[in-house]
Amino acid sequence: MQIEVFKSKIHRAKVTQAELHYVGSITLDETLMNAANIIENEKVQIVNVNNGERFETYVIKGDKDSGTVCLNGPAARKVQVGDVIIIVSYGIMDFESAKSHTPKIVFPDNDNKLS
């Protein structure tokens, strides 16, 4: 049996931009992506701590060490610059393997940088 499990997340990143007139997605600092084991074009769930919005989109790689967390297209309407969001990725795993899987969790600082 295959099940969908929590793979990784970037916990409490700050939105730095919201670009309504852009093809939809989320642009993320490449350093954050690598630390959280998230790749370009991967589907992610966005959870907005400030307003409770939950939605899905895909990832575009941003400049390394830029701190960029930019919601693009229609997703820009679900956030405000400065909002705190959680970016969650999921994966499909064999049921038995999933029992021992440890998700990767990244905790950026207020500038979306890693310590």
Indicate which residues carry an active-site annotation. 25, 58
Strands 17-19 and 69-72, bridge-based pairing: parallel
Q: Please return the burial class of 41, using the count of CB atoms within 10 Å of its CB with bins 0-12, 13-18 and 19+.
A: exposed
Interatomic CA distance for residues 46 and 9, integer angstroms? 10
d(CA 42, CA 91): 10
Question: Would you give the DSSP letter of residue 78?
Answer: G
User: CA 43, CA 74: separation in Å to the nearest integer?
Assistant: 16
